[in-house]
A and B are shown apart, each in its own frame.
Chain A
Amino acid sequence: MADDTAREEDHEAEAAGDVAEPAPIPDDVAAAVVARFPGSVFVDSHGQAVVYVEREVIADVALMLRDEEQFTMLVDTVVVDHLVDGARPLVAGIAPERFEVVVNFLSHARNRRIRIICQVPESQPTAPSLTPTYPGANFAERESYDLFGIAFEGHPDMTRILMPDDWHGYPLRKDDAPARVPVTFKGDPSPR
């Protein structure tokens, strides 16, 4: 696909820049996650702790955050579609895929946040569900399934939530439903 080549060019353009040498991770939770799960990468994103993890272990990471690090709440689950990105900031050690599942956690006891991101390839749009660990992810994962077609494995009710049940396609994907429909006027005979 043309988009793939564009993405690889971005890869080359960006890979030359700001890839830091392994430095001590300032966030101890992130450091613990990186130490426990090989293949994880810590990134400081505008002062916020972000850990890129492998897709297969994200449920284990959530379990660890909940049980060992006092992260009491899953704040949000988001999916990002990077199909048509102009310049995508790349993370050293992480192979970029089309989709990203982004999960924000909040610890009330320690009053801090952490963000876990995993890559989801277009060819196999699935990810482990966090609903068994954090039941609050239920609606958010259904929304991600509805709008992006990312199926969360282990979710108790993986059905559409926002769109009608008989809807075809996943509208928030970049190559699906149009963001702009031409305005039609009543009685306008011209097909648009």
Chain B
Amino acid sequence: MSTNPPIPLRPTTKPLSDALSKEEERLERQTDEGAQELRPTTREVVLAGGGMWPQDDLGDTMIINMGPQHPSTHGVLRLMMELDGEDVLRIKPVIGYLHTGMEKTGEELTYVQGTTNVTRMDYASNFANELVYSMAVEKLVGVEVPERATWIRMMMCELSRMASHLLFQATNGMDIGAVSMMLYGWREREEVLRIFEYVTGLRMNCNYIRPGGVAVDLPDGWQQRILDVCDLVVKGVSEYDELLSQNPIWRERTVGLGIITTEECLALSITGPILRSTGFAWDLRKAQPNLAYDQVEFDTIYTSNGDVYDRYRIRLYEILESVRIVRQCVEKMPAGDYRVQDKKITPPPRARIDESMEALIHHFKLFTEGFKVPAGETYVSVESPRGEIGCYMVSDGSSKPVRMHIRGPSFYNLQAIDPMGTDSLVADAVAIVSSIDPIMGEVDR
């Protein structure tokens, strides 16, 4: 890579039939070859921390390919592991099997439509994606969101954090072998998803938080329903705690496994529960509060061992902190508008369209053209269940972004596999990957 010849560009447009035939040809070729290269390419494989793998001591080792279709890798993560017997010498994650081109699609959608795109990135906690996208747009436009919208956003984000961590409890249990946790975790998560369906109309990919506020106001009787779910979740979490936390088999499988230090986390840009499990109490909700996180009481959960067990415990107790925040939101929810009253940004109420020509025109313009955003660039970040999620957005003054980039926390957290997994057993590699809790939609985008 020392000399870099100019990279030839392809023509701007190409006929689709050509693209399809090329794709078919490639598919055929790859399928015949066994679909994926499985050559022992270890000598070229690089550690996530940089640097080449050592070239010697390649005695009786074996390259094992795990994934991309593997039940324990949370989707389509592929791991190349070099094994010496049962010991893992090194792990290299291979990603891209869910690359969706969302950043390209994001450049093609207007700012009004953009949340439908980003909500499908981290599909386990979609509200964080919508929130960070909307905040970036609002920052560029310079619009202030009403207080009620802020609190609704915060409440939905915390419910989403509960859902995400409940999913983690379910899949983590299943990966490590506590299969009944799968059913218990889904039992509570389902209740939270029903709240989403009740408030937003969709169980997942809600597209609820939009630039300027939220899509609809909370429905009647939401307080009691959400409080009921909070009680159910608290009860469920105490059951998980009872079932797992002191369970000798569970502790054997998790304590002291996959250790990572604070220094490694910082160097590898790892955020979220993994960073907090190393004894570094960094939470963007506390450190750089957005929304109304400075007006609610909650604690940052952190532990000091940096192992799989600690990451499990942090996520377990963060569910309870989220319940605390949600209960305070229910109590303190201010009255007022649920979205900013700016005709250029938010659509008129449905009833107004029937009576007012102007409202009809605004509605039409907003959903066909979108609104224009002043030229500029900004980076906004919030704390998602997996760590710092950020949105870097560049506008050129039109109604579509020039560049919409989401910093997915899982993407960076995956780099932790290498320091965590080295010198573990192959059966423990599954527990380690599971404890990172990667969502591949966000990794590959």
Contacts and interface: CB of A to CB of B under 8 A. Distances in A.
Interface of A: 45-46, 48, 50, 72-76, 78, 80-82, 84-89, 102, 104, 108, 111, 113, 115, 123-126, 131-132, 134-140, 143, 147, 149, 151, 153, 155-158, 160-166, 168-173, 175-182, 184, 191-192
B382 to A, nearest CB: 13
B4 A76 contact: no
Interface in B241-290: 266-271, 280, 282, 287-288
Contacts of B2: 153
A168 B20 CA distance: 14
A48 B379 contact: yes
A48 B378 contact: yes
A137 B270 CA distance: 11
Contact of A179 (B37, B104, B288): B104
B398 A169 contact: no
A190 B353 CA distance: 40
B405 A125 contact: no
A18 B54 CA distance: 54
Interface residues of B, number: 70
A136 B288 contact: no
B4 A125 contact: yes
B9 interface: yes
Interface string B64-106: 0000000000000000000000000000000110010101110
B402 A192 contact: no
A156 B46 contact: yes
Query: Main secondary structure on chain A at its contact with chain B?
Result: loop
B75 to A, nearest CB: 14
Contacts of B271: 73
Contacts of A164: 26, 96
B345 interface: no
Contacts of B239: none
A134 B379 contact: no
Given A72-B266, A76-B407, A126-B4, A132 B16 contact: no
Interface string B8-19: 011111111101
Contacts of A136: 267-270, 412, 415
B96 A191 contact: no
B128 interface: no
B52 interface: yes
Interface string B96-126: 1001010111011000000000000000000
Interface stretch (B165-173, B227-235, B315-323, B386-394): B386-394
B103 A85 contact: no
B175 interface: no
B127 interface: no
B383 to A, nearest CB: 13
B437 interface: no
Given A139-B414, A179-B108, A192-B16, A115 B266 contact: no
Interface in B301-355: none
Given A72-B266, A138-B48, A192-B16, A162 B379 contact: no
B34 interface: no
Given A46-B378, A76-B407, A171-B104, A124 B390 contact: no
B179 interface: no
B396 A88 contact: yes
